[in-house]
Amino acid sequence: MKRILRNLALLYIPMLIFVGCMDEAIPTEYATADQIGGSESGLNALSNSTAAFMYAYNYIGSVSSQEFGYPAMMIIRDILTDCPYVATSYNHFNTYWGTLADFTSARMRQPWRYYYTMSMNANKTLIAIGDPEEATEAIQAFYGNALIYRALSYMDLARMYEYKRTNVPDLDDEAEKNGVFGLTTVIVDEFFNPSDARNNPRVPFYHMYRFIMNDLNKAEKYLATYERPAKAKIRADLSVAHAYKARLWLEIATRFQKYPADLQTQLSHEDDEELAHLDKLGVSSAADCYKKAAEYARLVINKYTPLTEGQWHDVNNGFNNSDSESWVFAITIGSADAVHNRVDNFHSNCVTEYSRGYSRSQYHCYRMIDKRLYDQIDDDDWRKVTWIDPDDAGKKPTPDKYHTLLDDDEWALRDAYVGFKFRPNNGDISDNYTNALQVSYPIIRVEEMYFIEAEAKTYSEGLASGMNALASFLNTHRYKGGTFNVTPDGIEDFVDTYLITQKRIELWGEGLAYFDIKRRELALTHGYVDTNYLPANRYNSKSGYAPAWLNLYVPREGEATLNSAIELNPDPRVQDNYGLWTGN
């Protein structure tokens, strides 16, 4: 086992294994068989290290201002989609994520580096446990938890790195020539033979779907009776497995509904010998997949409760506390030792009430909601006051309808559309940043499951069913007076114009809009009259196709340096292929 763990380590870029305030039972960089054995305490420490990597800092050592774990991935995805910034000087995610200038740069490699390190952590736990059937229930829970984190990693990787058509001829022709259509990313699991590292190609979607689903099936089995400790939503339980299944089934369903040939491809490979170790999907139609998405979403819905208006706008505990009954899975920074520094973190870049970061008035690096998205929020929707109405920007005193920790003078320095969603710990806006940053971040909230269920019902039961599901959620939990009502022009219009828009409003800032926009092939329009995107960020993609900048460039580095089998995605060359919108 020691040799396997060390060989696996060589396949990845160097990484931070154990992060602040974790159990010290395994003190070395790479755990060995002798250290772990069947020890529950050793496996607990290994499991803790995987959870801690969700907020790991400076784990590669080349772009520390962006290296703060999964929250940085959330920012990257949001800056590419729905979250413009007011200024650039202290926006460390603007170059190159915001300007889309060079997809081959070191900064653009962050997701590849991060997720493969995460999956290595999970693999170490799986290797250390060995056969879960011979383990205790407690150790089986560690096994299931590792599978969830690996599924998280590969689900994100597959969706971010698969090349989808852009309707940019140069890019699509290059992708066709290189044979990258339908390819996701490379797989390195606990059984991987290091001798294959030089020839480990990106796997096609039909392989990746089964790989992730197989992990989730096993996680579902080994977490079936596990009850996580109170306030321990960094640990996966059965509801987390169900939530990831709902996400995955929706992804699969959309593909098969939009591209029936891909369903036939999936079915034609069901009996491939090389996939025999993975569970089959067991579906024969897109409708089957949508039904499963709705089924698993409902299992989660039955266990959790959406945020109330008061909880959403709570200036002390809003979107910073995993005790919330709506949070299914979370990141938790629970000690001062786990706060790495003052500025290289999510709050510094995104939370304008955090007084020690880049998003304060001194630096004027505020994060906003896209004006076009904001304009679609109804006045009866109590979420609307999460962002500053342009009519209220700069006013003193602060209008009564808003909920903020800022005094009137500070409020007046914030621009229109700046958001007040995520709060410092216990509303702490003092200079004591180590306390302010002891916060939690949502990875999955139950509200997302309502949107998955509504979309899945639309395609499996009909437009009326989907509309009723969406209206029921919004009128019960988000609209004052139950006034939400729409008259869409068919199913596609309902899903793309209304449902996904509401989902983007609900989950703004949580790093999820990226996946829906790419999955549904929605246009991103950042250049328009009165846009609040910076001039260098005003690119518009083409309707009915994926924006090219959501097809991440596969870097030849780390594990890929020696892997001659990896075919690269086209460099999006966004400025050349789209051109900045200049007002014409």
Which residues lie below 8 Å from residue 5, measured CB to CB, with a gap of 6+? 30, 31, 32, 124, 127
Per-residue pLDDT, 83: 96
Radius of gyration from C-alpha coordinates of the chain:
23
Count CA atoms within 13 Å of residue 483 on its CB side: 9
Per-residue pLDDT, 457: 98
Count CA atoms within 13 Å of residue 30 on its CB side: 17
The rounded distance, in Å, linking the Cα atoms of 390 and 189 is 50
Sign of CA dihedral 578, 349, 411, 510: positive
Per-residue pLDDT, 156: 98
Strand-pair category, 440-445 with 327-332: antiparallel
Which residues does residue 327 pair with via DSSP β-bridges, in sequence order? 445
The residue type at 255? R
N residues, the chain: 584
- C-alpha dist (Å) from residue 37 to 1, 34, 123, 141, 377: 10, 6, 15, 16, 55
The rounded distance, in Å, linking the Cα atoms of 301 and 411 is 37
- C-alpha dist (Å) from residue 297 to 36, 355, 509: 36, 38, 21
Residue 315 DSSP SS3: coil
Count CA atoms within 13 Å of residue 519 on its CB side: 25
- CA nearest neighbour of 276 among 207, 183, 222, 196: 207
Which residues lie below 8 Å from residue 200, measured CB to CB, with a gap of 6+? 186, 187, 188, 192, 559, 563, 565, 566
DSSP string, 277-297: TS------SHHHHHHHHHHHH
The rounded distance, in Å, linking the Cα atoms of 514 and 518 is 6
The rounded distance, in Å, linking the Cα atoms of 434 and 470 is 40
Residue 531 carries which DSSP code? -
The rounded distance, in Å, linking the Cα atoms of 149 and 514 is 20
Which residues does residue 183 pair with via DSSP β-bridges, in sequence order? 204
The residue type at 292? K
The token duo for 137 is 């229930």
Angle at which helix 238-258 crosses helix 513-520, to 10 degrees, equals: 30
Per-residue pLDDT, 96: 75
Q: What pLDDT digit, counting tens, does each position of 10-66 carry?
A: 444 333 322 222 233 223 333 443 455 568 888 988 888 899 999 998 877 666 788
Cβ atoms of 385 and 404 within 8 Å: the answer is no
The token duo for 158 is 């597959």
Cβ atoms of 142 and 44 within 8 Å: the answer is yes
71, 77, 80, 83 alpha-carbon torsion, rounded to 10°: -50
DSSP string, 1-23: -HHHHHHHHHTS-----S-SS--
The token duo for 481 is 């007076």
- Tokens 């949001």 sit on residue: 78
pLDDT tens-digit profile, the chain (584 residues): 444 444 444 444 333 322 222 233 223 333 443 455 568 888 988 888 899 999 998 877 666 788 999 999 999 999 999 999 998 788 888 877 888 888 887 778 889 989 999 999 999 999 999 999 999 999 999 999 999 999 999 999 999 999 999 999 999 999 999 999 999 999 999 999 888 888 899 999 999 999 999 999 999 999 999 999 988 999 999 999 999 999 999 999 999 999 999 999 999 999 999 999 999 999 999 999 999 999 999 999 999 999 999 999 999 999 999 999 999 999 999 999 999 999 999 999 999 999 999 999 999 999 999 999 999 999 999 999 999 999 999 999 999 999 999 999 999 999 999 999 999 999 999 999 999 999 999 999 999 999 999 999 999 999 999 999 999 999 999 999 999 999 999 999 999 999 999 999 999 999 999 999 999 999 999 999 999 999 999 999 999 999 999 999 987 654 445 688 889 999 999 999 999 999 86
Torsions phi, psi for 293 (to 5 deg) = -60, -45
The rounded distance, in Å, linking the Cα atoms of 163 and 548 is 8
The rounded distance, in Å, linking the Cα atoms of 319 and 156 is 22
Q: Is the peptide bond before 201 cis (omega within 30 degrees of 0)?
A: no
Buried b (16+ CB within 10 A) or exposed e, 477-510: bbbeeeebeeebeeeeebbbebbbbbbbbbbbbb
The rounded distance, in Å, linking the Cα atoms of 362 and 396 is 19
